[in-house]
Chain A
Amino acid sequence: MEINPAMLLWSLINFVVLFLLLRKFLWRPILGILEDREREVTENLSRAENAREEAVRMKEEFERRLAEAQRRADEIISKATRKAEEMHNDLTEKAQAEAAAILERAQASIQREKEEAMAELRDQVADLAIEVAGKVLGRSLDDQDHNRLAREFVAQVGEAR
């Protein structure tokens, strides 16, 4: 149980030697590589974090652009629709106006022709009536009478109508 000074001294020396050897062959290299690995892991983590942030940023950017594109597409479509409607309305109006004009012209023309026909009819009816009357009266009226009578007759016929 008593202390053996030589053994104590040897143990001190041995431990110090072992300490120095292990420091060189074990602790420094191992701590070095553990530290390296830790640093690498930290770096990788921060790099991954950066990449994630970048991805989020890009996603937001794309979404923003997509929304912008969508908005512009909507705008273009609605503009086109509005234009088409306007054009449609214009054309319809124009067509209606044209149709109305044609109708009016046609009616005017019909009216004119009718009036012309009526006038011609009136002349012919007058001539015929004079002729019939002359034949009835047995004599022919001179031109002056003829004209007067015809006008009177026509006027009467016109009133009668």
Chain B
Amino acid sequence: MEAMNGFLLAAEAGHTGPVAKAQPLFQLFGLDVTSPVITEWFVMALLVLLAALATRRLQRIPGRLQAAIEVSVNFIVDSVVAPSIGSREKAIRYLPLLGTFFFFIIISNYMGLLPGAVLHLPGFKPPTSELSVTAALALIAFFATHYAGIREKGLHYFAHFLQPFPWLLPLNIVEELVRPLSLALRLFGNIFGGETVLWVLLSLVPWFIPIPIMGLEVFFGFLQAFIFTTLTSVYIGAATAESH
């Protein structure tokens, strides 16, 4: 119990663990580079490398890597995006954005399961356990939704802010603004929470005990990527829906 209190005190002070404020490691183009940003680059490099390897020689009868990527892509299209966005055709149209969300978020989440991430190796921290990162993702989802709406429906898109009654305009605007907020907070909260639990457990009992929690985090990491992508699909689907 004493040890637990010690960790929590340290956490509150923001000195260590997932709670620790990200310190700038160096600057690039005048912008502070912190550990989550470096991990983002690592995630990006990993994804692009895998993608390039898998699609380098695309064949009609796929090899193993290509088959794995195809299965993932089909899963994202048919099970994540299409049911939420309304149609398979639309799912494929917005797949590059939504699929990138899914892959980036799920791999970022899983970064927290790698050794060193939780105990905060410098330059290594799951990006999605930072509110600044999830906020950036939510902002992109927000602007992408309205961009898609305007692109597909023109100025008519803004009519839906006046529905079902014009006097609901303020409420509709609040709803639109709350969406990215909830996206960002949900993703951050879940991953940050999981990281914190893992950090406490690993600090107290580094052997075996954290394994079930890590298994749970594998599931949550997938679930949060799934939820973020699904909700963004729902928003884009609603924004581009045929006028009702």
Contact = CB atoms under 8 A, between A and B. Distances in A.
Interface of A: 1-12, 14-19, 21-23, 25-34, 36-37, 40
B158 interface: no
A34 B48 contact: no
A139 to B, nearest CB: 147
Interface in B57-99: 58, 60, 69-70, 73-74, 92, 95-97, 99
Interface in B91-141: 92, 95-97, 99-100, 103-104, 127, 130-133, 135-137, 139-140
B104 A30 contact: no
Contacts of A19: 96-97, 100
B150 interface: no
Mostly, the B contact residues are: helix
Contact of A4 (B43, B44, B97, B130): B130
- With most chain B CB atoms within 10 A of its CB, the pick from A5, A8, A30, A34 is A30
B92 A31 contact: yes
Given A31-B95, A34-B74, A18 B44 contact: yes
7 contacts: A3-B132, A4-B32, A11-B132, A12-B139, A15-B140, A18-B104, A31-B95
Given A4-B130, A7-B22, A30-B73, A14 B40 contact: yes
Nearest to B32: A6
Interface of B: 22, 24, 31-34, 36-37, 40-41, 43-44, 47-48, 51-52, 54-55, 58, 60, 69-70, 73-74, 92, 95-97, 99-100, 103-104, 127, 130-133, 135-137, 139-140
B41 A14 contact: yes
Given A7-B132, A8-B132, A11-B40, A34 B70 contact: yes
Contacts of A15: 100, 104, 136-137, 140
A7 B33 CA distance: 7
A27 B69 CA distance: 10
B58 A7 contact: no
Contact of B96 (A1, A8, A23): A23
Nearest to B139: A12
B133 A7 contact: yes
B127 to A, nearest CB: 7
A21 B44 contact: yes
Contact of B70 (A7, A18, A27, A30): A30
Contacts of B37: 7, 10-11, 14
Given A3-B131, A6-B24, A14 B44 contact: yes
Contact of A11 (B60, B69, B136): B136
Which 8 pairs between the two chains have the least Cβ-Cβ distance? A11-B136, A26-B51, A7-B132, A29-B55, A6-B32, A27-B96, A25-B51, A10-B37
